[in-house]
Amino acid sequence: MIFEGLSERLQETFKKLRGHGKLTEDDVNEAMRDVRMALLEADVNFKVVKDFVKKVKERAIGQEVLETLTPAQVVIKIVNEELTALMGGTQSKLNISSVPPTIIMMVGLQGAGKTTTAGKLALSLRKQGKHPLLVADDIYRPAAVKQLEVLGKQLDIPVFSMEAGTDAVTIAKESVPYANSHAADVIIIDTAGRLHINEELMQELTSIKSEVKPHEILLVVDAMTGQDAVNVAESFNGSLGLDGIVMTKMDGDARGGAALSVKAVTGCPIKFVGMGEKLEALEPFYPDRMASRILGMGDVLSLIEKA
């Protein structure tokens, strides 16, 4: 493993230091080097790491080392608390409109998991007694419409599509009267993947937005994303104004530092996480779980919590 757990690293660091009584500035500076590396290796954005480390440092200096905790554990406790706080509360709620239909729009980079997540959301909403309609609004990717249709068939949820050549704004617009006449109360629009720097395609999204006025615009982000996650989130948020984030592919071994990065730059809540390719594999987001994942230390944390 290239990644050595933060806790082992900190233990090692504190072995070299004295760390009795209060944590001195030197102790903390030394420890913050480990914290910084751990976060960078988890793909947390460099700038986010910088601010974060500064904050933790301020809190840690002068901190009493209790008998029950080692200096390393004291630092981890602070890091974990700050990280959890930064990630925000549990936010699995979608904005549901009091006047149906509620319109949800999925956006994001190519291959992030928009179409799959659209299917997952439709299933989850139906379980809550809603009547979703999936809208095939990706007019570019080969077989994108077919993909959504297959998912719709698997779930027995209707899919709205229009003939090839129809532009994405028209499809979105036409889906609303269709939903109304077919008793659908939630519309989930699956858009094509696009790069945040592609102005023409970003414009398409803003046109869809102004046409249908979605109640919820969700940015779908791959948990494996690296340092660029902040630029992606900033651009999408800047052009569209996001309501929430979905982190996908969390069933792998990526530490998912991108979650912290996108949260930090957009302030948007992470509403769901994708835990697999199956349509049931959608879960609410838990900030504390995410924090221990980023730090790579589930067990250590539960020990500290007991202390």
Partner 1 sequence: MGFFDRLKKGLTRTRETLTAKIGTAVLGYADISDDLLDEIEEILIMADVGVSTTEKLMQEVRKGIKKKEIHTPADLKPFLENKITEILLEGGAGVRMAAVGPTVILIVGVNGAGKTTTIGKLSAFYNYYGKKVMLAAADTFRAAAIDQLEIWGKRTGAEVIKHEEGSDPAAVVFDAVKAAKARGIDILIVDTAGRLQTKTNLMSELEKINRVVGREIPGAPHETLLVLDATTGQNAVSQAKLFTQSAPVTGVVLTKLDGTAKGGVVIGIKSELSIPIKWIGVGEGIEDLRPFSAEEYSKALFDK
Ligand X SMILES: Nc1nc2c(ncn2[C@@H]2O[C@H](COP(=O)(O)OP(=O)(O)OP(=O)(O)O)[C@@H](O)[C@H]2O)c(=O)[nH]1
Positive or negative torsion for Cα 23, 29, 33, 39 = positive
Upstream peptide bond of 158 is cis (omega within 30 degrees of 0): no
Side chain identity at 22, as an amino acid letter? K
Of partner 1, Mg ion, ligand X, none, which one does residue 132 interact with (CB within 5 to 8 Å by kind)? none
Residue 276 is a binding residue for ligand X (CB under 6 A): yes
**Judged by CB under 6 A, how many residues of this single chain contact ligand X?**
23
Find the binder of partner 1 among 12, 46, 299, 307 (CB under 8 A).
46
3-state class of 24 per DSSP?
Answer: coil
Q: 288-304 burial, b if ≥16 CB within 10 A, otherwise e? A: ebbbbbbbbbeebbeeb
Nearer to ligand X, 108 or 256 (CB): 108
φ, ψ dihedrals at 108, nearest 5°: 160, 180
Sites for ligand X among residues 129-158 (CB under 6 A): 138, 141, 144
The size of the interface with partner 1 (CB under 8 A), counted in residues, is 48
DSSP character at residue 250: T
Q: Which of 94, 118, 151, 184 binds partner 1 (CB under 8 A)?
A: 151
> Which of left, alpha, beta for 168 (phi over 0: left; psi -120 to 50: alpha)?
alpha
Residues 215-234 that bind Mg ion (CB under 5 A): none
d(CA 181, CA 165): 24
Residue number of the CB closest to Mg ion reads 115
Q: Closer to partner 1 at the Cβ: 144 or 171?
A: 144
State which of residues 70, 102, 115, 117 lies at the interface with Mg ion (CB under 5 A). 115
Of residues 169 and 229, the one with the C-beta less far from partner 1: 229
40 binds partner 1 (CB under 8 A): yes
State which residue, 221 or 304, has the beta carbon closest to partner 1: 221
| DSSP SS3 for 229 | helix
In terms of CB distance, is 10 or 151 closer to Mg ion?
151
Amino acid (1-letter code) at residue 2: I
Binding site partner of 185, from partner 1, Mg ion, ligand X, none, Cβ cut-off 5-8 A by kind? none
DSSP label of 83: H
Is residue 275 close enough to count as binding ligand X by CB under 6 A? yes
Tell me how far apart the terminal alpha carbons of the chain are, to the nearest angstrom. 29
Q: What angle do CA 125, 170, 141 make, to 5 degrees?
A: 75
User: With respect to partner 1, which residue has the nearer C-beta, 183 or 197?
Assistant: 197
Please tell me the distance from the alpha carbon of residue 126 to that of residue 297, in angstroms, as a whole number. Answer: 36
- For residues 225-264, which are near partner 1 according to CB under 8 A? 225-229, 231-232, 249, 251-255, 257-258
Does 43 engage in binding with partner 1 (CB under 8 A)?
Answer: yes
Near ligand X in 166-195, by CB under 6 A: 192-193, 195
Torsion of CA 30, 2, 304, 289, to 10 degrees: 120
**Closest CB 69 distance from partner 1, rounded Å:** 28
In angstroms, give the least distance from the CB of 266 to partner 1. 17
Does residue 156 come out as left (phi exceeding 0), alpha (psi in the -120 to 50 range) or beta? Answer: left
Which stretches of the chain bind partner 1, using CB under 8 A?
2-3, 37, 40-43, 46, 109-113, 115, 140-144, 146-151, 154, 195-198, 222, 224-229, 231-232, 249, 251-255, 257-258, 277
